[in-house]
Amino acid sequence: MSGVSVEHPSWCDRSLCTATDLRRSGFHRSRVAILDPDPRTDLGVTVQLGQGTPIPGYRDSGTLLVDLTVHPGVLDPTDSGEEYTLILPADRASALGHLLVAAGRETVTGW
Domain count of the chain?
1
Strands 84-89, 64-71: pairing is antiparallel
- Of 33, 5, 32, nearest to 19 (Cα)? 5
Q: Which residue segment(s) compose the domain that 61 sits in?
A: 27-109
Say if residue 101's pLDDT is above 80: yes
Whether 6 is covered by a domain: the verdict is no
Question: Residue 14 domain-assigned?
Answer: no
Q: pLDDT tens digits for 4-48?
A: 678 899 999 999 999 988 778 899 999 999 998 888 888 889 999
For residue 5, being part of any structural domain is answered with no
Q: Answer yes or no: is 9 within a domain.
A: no
Pairing relation of β-strands 64-71 and 33-35? unpaired
Report the run of H or E that residue 86 belongs to, with start and end: strand 84-89
Q: The CATH number of the domain where 88 resides is what? A: 3.10.450
- Record the pTM: 0.80
What is the pLDDT of the chain when averaged over all its residues? 87
- With respect to residue 10, please indicate whether it lies within any of the assigned structural domains: no
